[in-house]
Structure 1
Amino acid sequence: MEVKTNVGKQKYIFVTGGVLSGVGKGITAASIGAILQAKGTKVSIQKCDPYLNVDAGLLNPKEHGECFVTKDGAETDLDLGHYERFLDLELTQKNATLSGALLSQLITDERAGKFHGQTIQLVPHLTGAIKDAIQLASEGSEVHIVEVGGTVGDYEGLSYVEAIREFASRVGRENCLYVHVVYVPFIQTSKEFKSKPAQNALNDLRGFGIVPDCVVVRTDDPAPVSIAMKIAAFSGVREDAVILLSNAKTVYEIPLTIDASGINAVLERFTGNTKKADLSKWRNIADAQAASFSQKVRIGMVAKYLDNEDTYLSVIEALKAAAWQEKVDLELVWINAEEAEVTDFERMDGLLVPGGFGGRGIEGKIRAATYALEMQKPYLGLCLGLQIAVIAAARKAGLKDANSTEFDPETKHDVVYIMEGQAGKESTGGTLRLGDYTAELIKGSQAAKAYGATEIIERHRHRYEVNQKYLQAIEKGGLTISGLSPDGKLVEYVEAKGNPFFVATQAHPEFKSRPYRPHPLFVGLIKAAAGQ
Structure 2
Amino acid sequence: MSGVGKGLTTASVGRILGEYGYRCTAVKIDPYINCDAGTMRPTEHGEVWVTDDGGEIDQDLGNYERFLGLDLPRHNNLTTGQIYHSVIERERRGEYLGQTVQPIPHITGEIQRRIQEAAKGFDVALIEIGGTVGDYENEPFLFAVKGLEREIGEEHFVYVLVTYLPIPRHVGEMKTKPTQQAIRLLGEQGILPDFIVCRAETSLDEVRKKKIMVNANVPMDHIISAPDLATVYDIPIRLEEEDLGAKMLAKMGFQPRREPDWTHWQNLLERSKTPSQVVRVAMVGKYVEIGDFQLTDSYISVNQSLLHAGVANDSKIEITWIDGRKFERDDMDLEALTDYDGIIVPGAFGEGGADGVLAAIRYARENGVPFLGLCYGMQLAVVEYARNVVGIKDASSEEFSDDSPNQVVSVQESQKQVLEDEQYGASMRLGAYAAVLKKDSRVLALYEESGRLGEDADRIRQLLEVPAESFRVGEIMQGHDQVVLERHRHRYEISPRFVELLEDQGLVFSGHHRRADGTRLMEFIELPDHPYFLATQAHPEFKSRMDNPAPMFSGFVKAALAHQQASGAPHVQAAAS
TM exceeding 0.5: yes
Q: C-alpha distance in 2, partners of 1:329/1:29?
A: 27
Of 535, 547, 550, the residue aligned with 1:516 is 547
Question: Match of 2:484?
Answer: 456
Unaligned runs of 5+ in 2: 289-293, 328-332, 454-481, 564-577
Question: Match of 2:393?
Answer: 400
Question: Does residue 118 of structure 1 match 2:105?
Answer: no
Question: Match of 2:466?
Answer: none
Question: Match of 2:9?
Answer: 28
Q: C-alpha distance in 2, partners of 1:277/1:181?
A: 24
Q: Give the AA of the match of 2:552.
A: L
- How far residue 518 of structure 1 moved from its aligned partner, in angstroms, is 0.7
Deviations 1:338-367 (A, max 9, x none): 123531333221111001111111111112
- How far residue 264 of structure 1 moved from its aligned partner, in angstroms, is 3.0
Question: Match of 2:412?
Answer: 419
Of 178, 194, 215, the residue aligned with 2:159 is 178
Q: C-alpha distance in 2, partners of 1:86/1:176?
A: 22
**SS of the residue 1:129 aligns to:** helix
Q: C-alpha distance in 1, partners of 2:158/2:29?
A: 16
Question: Match of 1:38?
Answer: 19
Question: Does residue 78 of structure 1 match 2:70?
Answer: no
Relative distance call for 1:344 and 1:190 in structure 2 (3 A) is: closer
Question: Match of 2:558?
Answer: 527
Of 28, 37, 46, the residue aligned with 1:65 is 46
Deviations 1:453-499 (A, max 9, x none): 42100000001011121124323554211101134511011100111
**SS of the residue 2:562 aligns to:** coil
Q: Give the AA of the match of 2:546.
A: P
Q: How does 1:181-260 map to 2 (within 5 A)?
A: 181-260=162-241
> Which piece of structure 1 moves more, 407-416 or 67-76?
407-416
Deviations 1:345-401 (A, max 9, x none): 332211110011111111111122222222222111100111011101111211001
Contact 1:288 1:324 in 2 (8 A): yes
Question: Match of 1:146?
Answer: 127
**SS of the residue 1:174 aligns to:** helix
- How far residue 60 of structure 1 moved from its aligned partner, in angstroms, is 0.8
**SS of the residue 2:29 aligns to:** strand
- How far residue 42 of structure 1 moved from its aligned partner, in angstroms, is 0.7
> Which piece of structure 1 moves more, 420-429 or 464-473?
420-429
Q: C-alpha distance in 1, partners of 2:225/2:418?
A: 49
Q: C-alpha distance in 2, partners of 1:205/1:477?
A: 64
Q: C-alpha distance in 1, partners of 2:253/2:497?
A: 60
Q: Give the AA of the match of 2:525.
A: V
- How far residue 260 of structure 1 moved from its aligned partner, in angstroms, is 0.8
Q: C-alpha distance in 2, partners of 1:200/1:468?
A: 60
Q: C-alpha distance in 1, partners of 2:405/2:270?
A: 54
Question: Match of 2:429?
Answer: 433
Question: Does residue 481 of structure 1 match 2:509?
Answer: yes
Question: Match of 2:291?
Answer: none
Contact 2:27 2:115 in 1 (8 A): yes
Of 256, 267, 272, the residue aligned with 2:254 is 272
Relative distance call for 1:499 and 1:152 in structure 2 (3 A) is: same
TM-score by length of 2: 0.87
Q: C-alpha distance in 1, partners of 2:7/2:215?
A: 25
**SS of the residue 1:329 aligns to:** strand
Q: C-alpha distance in 1, partners of 2:20/2:246?
A: 13
**SS of the residue 2:300 aligns to:** helix
Unaligned runs of 5+ in 1: 1-19
Question: Does residue 308 of structure 1 match 2:301?
Answer: no
Q: C-alpha distance in 1, partners of 2:341/2:171?
A: 47
Q: C-alpha distance in 1, partners of 2:393/2:50?
A: 35
**SS of the residue 1:217 aligns to:** strand
**SS of the residue 1:147 aligns to:** strand
Q: How does 1:268-347 map to 2 (within 5 A)?
A: 268-269=249-250, 270-274=252-256, 275-293=258-276, 295-306=277-288, 307-340=294-327, 341-347=333-339
Relative distance call for 1:157 and 1:146 in structure 2 (3 A) is: same
Question: Match of 2:538?
Answer: 507
**SS of the residue 1:33 aligns to:** helix
Contact 2:13 2:245 in 1 (8 A): no
> Which piece of structure 1 moves more, 125-134 or 359-368?
359-368
Question: Match of 1:377?
Answer: 369
Question: Match of 1:366?
Answer: 358
Question: Match of 2:463?
Answer: none
Question: Match of 1:17?
Answer: none
Q: C-alpha distance in 1, partners of 2:429/2:84?
A: 25
**SS of the residue 2:416 aligns to:** coil
Contact 1:43 1:145 in 2 (8 A): yes
Q: Give the AA of the match of 1:480.
A: V
Question: Match of 1:470?
Answer: 498
Of 495, 498, 501, the residue aligned with 2:529 is 498
Relative distance call for 1:68 and 1:168 in structure 2 (3 A) is: same
Contact 1:422 1:463 in 2 (8 A): yes
- How far residue 98 of structure 1 moved from its aligned partner, in angstroms, is 0.9
Contact 2:296 2:321 in 1 (8 A): no
- How far residue 424 of structure 1 moved from its aligned partner, in angstroms, is 4.4
Q: C-alpha distance in 2, partners of 1:89/1:528?
A: 29
Deviations 1:35-78 (A, max 9, x none): 01111111111101111000110011001100000000000000
Q: C-alpha distance in 1, partners of 2:168/2:323?
A: 36
Question: Match of 2:467?
Answer: none
Contact 2:272 2:314 in 1 (8 A): no
> Which piece of structure 1 moves more, 351-360 or 363-372?
363-372
Contact 2:17 2:245 in 1 (8 A): no
Contact 2:272 2:316 in 1 (8 A): no
RMSD (Å), alpha carbons: 1.4
* Residues matched between the structures, number: 512
> Which piece of structure 1 moves more, 350-359 or 425-434?
425-434
Q: C-alpha distance in 2, partners of 1:478/1:59?
A: 38
Q: C-alpha distance in 1, partners of 2:203/2:221?
A: 17
**SS of the residue 1:406 aligns to:** coil
- How far residue 105 of structure 1 moved from its aligned partner, in angstroms, is 1.1
Deviations 1:265-323 (A, max 9, x none): 42231252234321223212321222141x32211111122211110000000011101
Of 68, 93, 98, the residue aligned with 1:87 is 68
> Which piece of structure 1 moves more, 208-217 or 184-193?
184-193
Q: C-alpha distance in 1, partners of 2:343/2:506?
A: 17
**SS of the residue 2:488 aligns to:** strand
